[in-house]
Amino acid sequence: MKLEVLALQGTNEVMQAYHNDKEFVHTFFDYGNEENSFPKRLKELEGRPFERRQLAETVRSFMEPFGLSANADKHIKELAENAVAVIGGQQAGVLTGPLYSVHKAITVLLLARQQREALGVPVVPVFWVAGEDHDLNEINHTYTELNGRAVKQQYHEKFVLKLMASDAVYDSVKMTSFVKGVFGKFGETSYTKDLLDEVLSAVRQEETFTQFFVRLMNGLFQEEGLLFIDSAFKPLRQLETDYFIRLIEESEQLAGKIADKEELFAAQGFGSPIGADMDAANLFYVHETGRVLLSRKDGYFVNDSLGLRFTTADMLEIAKEQPWLLSNNVATRPIMQDLVFPVLAFVGGPGEIAYWAVLKEAFHHLGLKMPIIVPRISITLVTPLVKQALDKKSFTVEDVMAGQIFTAREQFVEDLRDEEFNIALDETAEMLSAQYDKIAQLSQRQGAMMQELTQKNLLFHTKQLNYLKAKAEDALLVKHDAALRVFGMLEGELFPEGALQERLYAPYAYLNSYGPTLIQELLQLPFEIDGTHKIVYL
């Protein structure tokens, strides 16, 4: 493997500001992503109380069904004592979801390893699975590459209710068929059978989208000791009881703090990542119809569409007696995470960092500081075939991402065109037009019907000439199909649908080609967590 670093142009404005504008960081975050921030955050965490033993047992009870490695066991024991955590998280996508889920886990592991050495204290890696999310259309599909196009492969099963991913039970037969269909697009290698058997075994052993996701991710990172927790795990909800009480009691103030901060964020040109509302409760209620958002209205917590109406006393009773019926939204999830875990640093993608940016005053209102926010590593994998194509066309990965392939392909097609042939067709069309002008003048003597017939006749011949021109171009494209496929492959592999590879493709296409040790090999590369894009030549 070979590693290159690329400073991507045109990254979003929030990330540009986060990396380069100290005033922006000071305004919206408590710590900069700098080495001297980590000892400061560690000292802050030492002064805060955590339910460490209960938390460790909760993580253990969640993970044991998926298999607990020696390193994971060690990390759980450290968490029960004095460890701090590096946390990243993601929704529970099928086949692990896009590659960035894996890249996020890699970042969490590398940062935890790095800070364990630098601080001289146990730093454990944690992956927080957002199993409470209910938008199943965001997680029920993956993409495969075909002839330069990213093709959506979707698991087809309708869920009428707004079920959380942790409650959504898939049809095992349908999921088996879906997985086999996706693997069928990869092509057969020496790794295919074992890899497919492993994934199908996970399908059979589990029932929900979250369980399926965790079993696969735990399989990929088990020996590294990556810890997993599901935000919708019932014992975790019970651990969160006192924290839910605080979020309910401070709901109005928190909503105001978040809305005000987002207004400032938007005024500086960064948009409104949360869409904060002064009347937001920033909590969901897990109703029999699914997970539904609550608002505050006339002193009550309500969902008008379902006719739900809770007093503050009702909400506090739910938090004490049935906390699993409550669920955080995008604004309170980071706060809850920080209350439950001793979070040294949070690893996030650009979208996550944008919504974290509006939460600073909400954290402060609860007597907390935000953890250090570390952008996840962004990676593009380049296969030998793609590298060969890049060299043949004298392109770089950056050229492809900058859209130069489209221009080059258009120029290539233009150079292929037989100009003499096209000129001859154009001259014929001009001659026909001139002759038909004469015929049209003469046809006036024959009456309106003859004039109309003459016009139709001209259109017929013009269509034939255009048809001939189009067929000639098709013949050229067929003749040079192999060369044109190279352009498509470069786009489809490196910048599919105008997006980074990691945003569409799951890791299994690459594991199928390069084997189950691919993740461990990536973890051995000298990645720097510095905001640059990484190019890995396989």
User: What average pLDDT does the segment 97-124 reach?
Assistant: 97
Give the per-residue pLDDT at 438: 72
| Residue 45 backbone dihedrals phi, psi, to 5 degrees | -65, -30
Alpha-carbon span 325 to 334, nearest angstrom: 19
Q: What are phi and psi of 475, to 5 degrees?
A: -60, -40
Question: Is pLDDT at 75 greater than 70 in this prediction?
Answer: yes
Candidate from 52-61, 231-240, 391-400, 409-418 with smallest mean pLDDT: 409-418
Q: Of the ranges 166-170, 212-216, 396-400, 437-441, which one carries the lowest mean pLDDT score? A: 437-441
Structural domain count of the chain: 2
pLDDT of residue 463: 78
CA-CA distances (angstroms) from residue 222 to 32, 67, 215, 447, 517?
31, 8, 10, 87, 12
Contact between 221 and 238 (Cβ < 8 Å)? no
Integer angstrom CA distances of residue 458 from 362, 435, 512, 538 = 74, 10, 58, 58
pLDDT at 73: 98
User: What is the C-alpha to C-alpha distance for residues 326 and 240, in angstroms, rounded to an integer?
Assistant: 10
User: Other C-beta atoms within 10 Å of 427: how many?
Assistant: 10
8 A C-beta contact, residue 133 and residue 120: no
Provide the domain limits for residue 299.
Answer: 259-328
The reported pLDDT for the residue numbered 289 is 87
Convert 281-314 into a string of H (helix), E (strand) and C (coil): EEEEEEECCEEEEEEEECCEEEECCCCEEECHHH
pLDDT of 328 reads 96
Instruction: Assess if residue 409 is contained within a domain.
Output: yes
pLDDT of residue 406: 80
Question: Domain for residue 428, yes or no?
Answer: yes
Task: Assign 241 to helix, strand or coil.
Answer: helix
What CA–CA distances, in Å, run from 381 to 49, 392, 513? 42, 18, 12
Cα-atom radius of gyration of the chain, to the nearest Å? 29
Structural domain ending residue among the three candidates 304, 328, 352: 328
Which domain-ending residue is among 305, 328, 351? 328
| pLDDT tens-digit map of 456-512 | 776 776 777 576 666 656 555 554 556 677 888 898 999 999 999 999 999 999 999
Give 289-314 pLDDT, tens digit per residue: 889 999 999 999 999 999 999 999 99
What does the pLDDT average to over 90-116? Answer: 96
Angle at 301 between CA 298 and CA 305, to 5 degrees: 95
Per the domain annotation, does 116 fall within a domain?
A: no
Q: Is residue 351 part of a domain?
A: no
pLDDT score at 197: 97
| Residue 425 confidence (pLDDT) above 80 | no
β-pair partners for 141: 154
Q: Of residues 278 and 421, which shows the higher confidence score?
A: 278
- pLDDT grade, residue 520 (50/70/90)? very high
Q: What percent of the chain has pLDDT over 90?
A: 75
What tokens appear for 503 in the block? 């945003």
Task: Specify the pTM.
Answer: 0.88
pLDDT at 93: 93
Is it the case that residue 272 has pLDDT exceeding 70? yes
Mean pLDDT value across residues 44-49: 94
> Is the confidence at residue 126, as pLDDT, over 90?
yes
- The stretch 105-128 carries a mean pLDDT of 98
Is residue 447 one of the residues assigned to a domain? yes
**Is 292 inside a domain boundary?**
yes
Residue 51 lies in a domain: no
Q: Which helix (H) or strand (E) holds 114?
A: helix 99-119
What mean pLDDT is predicted for residues 366-380? Answer: 97
Q: Give the pLDDT score at 424.
A: 67
Average pLDDT over residues 79-103: 96
Burial of 481 (0-12, 13-18, 19+ CB in 10 A): exposed
What is the pLDDT averaged over residues 215-243?
Answer: 97
CB neighbours (10 Å) of residue 21? 13
Average of per-residue pLDDT values in the chain: 91
Question: Distance (Å, rounded) from C-alpha 204 to C-alpha 174?
Answer: 11
As beta bridge partners, residue 533 has 6, 378
Of the three residues 328, 359, 377, the one that is the final residue of a domain is 328
> Does 457 map to a domain?
yes
- The whole-number pLDDT of residue 380 equals 97
